[in-house]
Amino acid sequence: MNICKRILPSRLSSYTHALASYKASFSFFHSSPDTSIQVHSEEQEVVIALGSNVGNRLNNFNEALTQMKKSGLQITRHACLYETEPAYVTDQPLFLNSAIRATTKLGPHELLSVLKKIEKEMGRTKGIRYGPRPIDLDILFYGKYKIKSESLTVPHERIFERPFVMAPLVDLLGSDVDHDTVLHWHSFSKKGGIFESWEELGGESLIGKDGLRRVLPVSNRLWDWSKKTSVMGILNLTPDSFSDGGKFECIADAISHVQTMISQGVDIIDLGAQSTRPMASRISVAQELDRLIPVLERILKLPEIEGKLISVDTFYSEVALEAVKKGAHIVNDVSGGIMDSDMLNVMGKLNVPYVVMHMRGDPHTMQNNENVKYDDVCKEVGDELYERVRIAELHGVPAWRIVLDPGIGFSKNTEGNLEILMGLKRIREEIGRKSLGVSRVPLLIGPSRKRFLGEICGRVSGVERDPGTVAAVTCGVLGGANIVRVHNVGDNVDAVKLCDSMLDQVGR
């Protein structure tokens, strides 16, 4: 079901009534720059759209975000990232589009001046209207106000006819309206709110076609993860991992295993040099780097690694930083930034995808009675995952670089793991109550050889749990997972291919 339609029926009448009231009472004024600055001295919540199709588009976005922060905007939410066909003037390169929510004490015309200054400093010239530009920054909403002056119209006059604006705008909202400013934004639509306007354009059915792709920037490309499920192969460089500890401590053995996984069709290699099994002893940053970096350097020299992605499985910010410097493409953090207080600051600057996993406690405490107790595991995992992402966004990690992992086997008992496998769509919906954008990012699951499979199937040894893993992966992919993290790449590549074929058959 389209999550935009999940303003629950029990809430719909009150939402509609409130929206009608706001349509009758929104603030509107004609203004000059001077008067509007005086009127708007209090902090306001704003929505700003970003677009770029000249030069390094992603770097342009990153620079614009940096400059906006320096100018006094506190960015609180990021939409997903979209690659779009140009509108109006079609003979030009593809655009990247997104949007942010932020708070500011700048008046509307002060804010406009700041954005125009950033555009100019980044090389934008007047040029032709709707033509190519290194950066385009438009104020979509400013607080609860409608503004009409010679230089500024808010809401932006053509929001509701443009899918490349509406898609990221909807991402910034939740299916639950979080406060009355958002109700004002809904009231500006001529339809029954922003969601209805989006549906009128085509809604989620537009994504992936008609020149509107939702993408995640990784390595040197924009990854449309909706096209196929990706297989992440596990390489444990540890002596004490639960399934294959000690098997790949020798660099030659590790490289041989990577080559085998590549020949079997792996998409991502996930290197872990620190065990996170229950009760695992923690090693130091230096020890982890000593295990990790020599293998990473050797892998990156393999000719067959071309086109594959390298992920580093670590909760240490120093390890993440060094691994990315050496060439890793993704950081996979089982703690979602909890086990190293500097991780989110580092991730805010690295500009690589960040896998945020759900876990309570740490490997020593995650399976205690308190941490595996849930009243509603899908709801609580969704809520707690969103809270980690919310904090990450405040540290500068945009939603377009987030991958979610519900943490199968971490702080869950057998029943909880099964509920998660069967409830991935529900987890997305729970996150979508707060942020539709975050609910739409790639979802990773890692059931491979986990203890709950052994309990159910009567398999004591991890390597005996591969058939159960294939079944769990199949369930997860059909339930909405985009990436599966596994030990046995060959069998799971086949399972994923079958699942993808079935999903393609029904139009995903």
What 3 state SS string does 353-367 have? CEEEECCCCCCCCCC
Catalytic hit among 133, 144, 450, 465: 450
The owner of tokens 């769509």 is 425
Q: What is the C-alpha to C-alpha distance for residues 508 and 504, in angstroms, rounded to an integer?
A: 5
**Nearest C-alpha neighbor of 311 from the set 352, 264, 257, 360:** 352
**Nearest C-alpha neighbor of 192 from the set 19, 358, 357, 73:** 19
Q: What is the C-alpha to C-alpha distance for residues 1 and 425, in angstroms, rounded to an integer?
A: 9
Instruction: Encode 352-370: b = buried (16+ Cβ within 10 Å), e = exposed.
Output: bbbbbbbbbbbbeebbeee
174 token code pair? 């939740």
Is there a catalytic annotation at residue 11? Answer: no
CB 60 within 8 A of CB 52: yes
Q: CB under 8 Å, gap of 24 or more: what pairs does 67-71 form?
A: 67/118, 67/121, 67/122, 68/100, 68/102, 68/114, 68/115, 68/118, 68/137, 69/396, 71/106, 71/114, 71/118
Catalytic hit among 124, 412, 426, 485: 485
CA 372 to chain centre: 26
371 token code pair? 């941490």
Is there a catalytic annotation at residue 126? Answer: no
Active site residues: 450, 485
